[in-house]
Amino acid sequence: MSFLQDARKLLQQNIREYGMYIALFVIMTIFTITTQGTFISSRNIVNLVNQTGYIAVLAVGMTLVIVIRHIDLSVGFLGGFLGAIAAIAMVQWDMPVYLAIPFTLALGVLAGAITAFLVAQMKIPAFVATLAGWLIYRGAILVVTESTGTIIIPDKTFNAIGNGFIPDIPDIGILPGIHKLTLIIGVIAIVLLIFSEINSRQKKQAYNFEVLPMEMFVIKLVFISALIGGVTWLLAGYQGLSWTAVVVLIVVTIYHFITTQTVLGRHIYAVGGNPEAAELSGINVKRITYIVFGSMGMLSALSGILFASRLQSATTTAGQLWELDAIAAAFIGGVSPAGGIGKVAGSIIGALVMLSLTSGMNLMGIGISYQYMARGAVLAAAVIFDVATRNRAH
């Protein structure tokens, strides 16, 4: 088979997956042109990543919720509420930040478990159960911020999560103005990636399984390395990797690993693909429901922490429309509304698409009303594309 045929076959087989990346690339290119390069500047990209953070972690959790055929509308205000709880814990209860954060995350898990109880045990449709949660947490935010209004968070460590950057290694005279630790991390990531890809390819070959042709494999590695390298270079040109980006990367890595490599991940997708069959295959569907909603609750808490930290305060309006952004991100990222299909990495791309649109249009000075319309159109287009390519694959 010739090289071009290989490339075409690969593209055809994976059009759905590559579609999102292409869309993101196109959107970014358009904004780079229309803003004369401001969009792609180091500063803006760093900002973009920090703004995406709290939606990105919600989108990760939402992916799994939708995969098991449920929905969670309560995540936005739950996040906002728990962000306020974290602030209160530190400000009013004098809880140290290292305790306040795990405490808030644990409350998130508890909230998720309550949702799971309603959905799995009481058999209440998730839409209704979480709509109730939406109302309750909305009220709860108002209650806890009632006396003080906005709660200012003075803790520097806490605020660094949303605003700070990882420290650099001491200046050694080379590459002035460039964040060297970020560069080093980027290089390590590329090396690790190449190493693990080669390793997995060799293992597959040892079993005589089908692998990508050599040229395609090399091109794929070069492409991904260039992507990571490019982003690293951009980030290093400003203040380096932000703590928000670190948090998101850790979350995505863990969830990507769980969903693609573990028995738990398989069980989640099996429950989404056919709950009855999963049950009869010895999978405890209730347990999976608890785990998925529990994780969603925890990520809502994390999202609230990221947001509160970024604003350095807890506000009465925190959490508004987050859930819809997260759901939209998941659908743009290729999650199937029918359940059983969807990738965590895809939802992150979806979140980046949504936030790139906001950021780019803000830079262009487009009004908020048109921004909503544009985002709606992109959401519809993404899902249409997804459905169209899925039908063709069958």
Partner 1 sequence: MNTPILEMKNITKEFPGVKALNNVSFQVTEGEIHCLVGENGAGKSTLMKVLSGVYPHGEYSGDIIFGGKVQNLRGISDSEKAGIAIIYQELALVPEMTVYENIFLGHEIKNGILIDWNETIKRAGEMLKKVKLNVNLAEKVRDLGVGKRQLVEIAKALSKDVKLLILDEPTAALNEDDSENLLNLLRDLKNHGVTCILISHKLKEVIEIADSVTVLRDGKTICTLEAKKGEVSENTLIKHMVGREIENIYPKRGNRQIGEIVLDVKNWTAYDPTLGRSILKDINFYVKKGEIVGLAGLMGSGRTELALSIFGNPDGYKISGEISVLGSQKRFKLPEDAINAGVAYVTEDRKGDGLILIQDVKQNITLANLKEIANRGVVNENSEVKVANEYKVSLNIKTPSVEQIVSNLSGGNQQKVSLGKWLFVKPNLLILDEPTRGIDVGAKYEIYTIMTKLVEQGMSIIMISSELPEVLGMSDRVYVVSGGKIAGELAILDATQEKIMHLATNY
Footprint on this chain of partner 1 (rule: CB under 8 A): 203-204, 207, 209-210, 261-267, 269-270, 273-274, 276-284, 340-341, 394
| Minimum CB distance to partner 1 smaller for 199 or for 317 | 199
| Minimum CB distance to partner 1 smaller for 4 or for 280 | 280
Q: How far is the CB of 206 from partner 1 (least distance, A)?
A: 8
Tell me the C-alpha distance between 154 and 188, whole Å. 35
Q: How far is the CB of 269 from partner 1 (least distance, A)?
A: 7
| Minimum CB distance to partner 1 smaller for 78 or for 335 | 335
| Minimum CB distance to partner 1 smaller for 282 or for 365 | 282
The dihedral built from the CA positions of residue 348, 354, 357 and 358, taken in this order, carries a sign that is negative
Q: How far is the CB of 205 from partner 1 (least distance, A)?
A: 10
Burial class of residue 219 (count of CB atoms within 10 Å of its CB; 0-12, 13-18, 19+) = middle
Q: How far is the CB of 191 from partner 1 (least distance, A)?
A: 22
| Minimum CB distance to partner 1 smaller for 190 or for 292 | 292
At position 143, the amino acid (one-letter code) is V
| Minimum CB distance to partner 1 smaller for 285 or for 364 | 285
The residues, ordered by sequence, that sit 6+ positions from 310 with a Cβ below 8 Å of its Cβ are 50, 53, 54, 161, 162, 163, 244
At position 42, the amino acid (one-letter code) is S
Q: How far is the CB of 113 from partner 1 (least distance, A)?
A: 20
Q: How far is the CB of 202 from partner 1 (least distance, A)?
A: 11
| Minimum CB distance to partner 1 smaller for 304 or for 346 | 346
Tell me the C-alpha distance between 109 and 186, whole Å. 33
Tell me the C-alpha distance between 318 and 233, whole Å. 33
Tell me the C-alpha distance between 175 and 155, whole Å. 33
The residues, ordered by sequence, that sit 6+ positions from 125 with a Cβ below 8 Å of its Cβ are 119
Tell me the C-alpha distance between 391 and 393, whole Å. 5
Tell me the C-alpha distance between 58 and 75, whole Å. 8
Q: How far is the CB of 254 from partner 1 (least distance, A)?
A: 13
| H/E stretch holding 36 | none
